[in-house]
Amino acid sequence: MYIFLFSLAPLPLFQHNKPLYSFEDNADYVYDVMWSPVHPAMFAAVDGMGRLDLWNLNNDTEVPTASVTIEGASALNRVRWSSGGKEVAVGDSEGRVWIYDAGELSAVHPEDWARFARTLMEIRANRADGEEEGPMELAS
């Protein structure tokens, strides 16, 4: 399934809010997504196959930076970051919770904000280039 990245900038009334980007690395429904509270380019996503993905858009926009499939888990339907952004809690449809230490993957460096601004500019430029051809959807 897909995860879409949208801009929150106001649009003229005649224009539809199209996704800036579509992330397509999941084989099942994505049930929850949450941005890191501290890292500008990182988000976590969980899906119906019991998979947790950590995406760092400064590193790659086509595949997650890290993934884990939880053995014995039913559909993962909740993901939450700790307030410090170092741990990720995921829950399944049976009420079980797992906590993962994101470690160095979640470390914020001074250049991350500027790198993410460049990443977003590249995504917008690619979208503008592809609008004549239809919506941009990259598969990994």
State the DSSP string of 55-100. EETTT-SSS-SEEEE-TT---EEEEEE-TTSSEEEEEETTS-EEEE
Which range has the worst mean pLDDT, 59-73, 86-100, 104-118, 119-133? 119-133
What CATH class has 30-117?
Answer: mainly beta
123 pLDDT more than 90: no
53 pLDDT more than 70: yes
Q: Is the pTM of this model over 0.85?
A: no
Long-range pairs, 11-17, Cβ under 8 A, ≥24: none
Domain boundaries, the chain: 30-117
From residue 113, give the alpha-carbon distance in Å to each of 31, 57, 119.
Answer: 27, 11, 10
Q: Is 139 exposed, middle or buried (0-12, 13-18, 19+ CB in 10 A)?
A: exposed
State the DSSP string of 119-138. HHHHHHHHHHHHTTT----B
Q: How far is CA 91 from the centre of its chain?
A: 17
Which range has the worst mean pLDDT, 5-9, 48-52, 87-91? 5-9
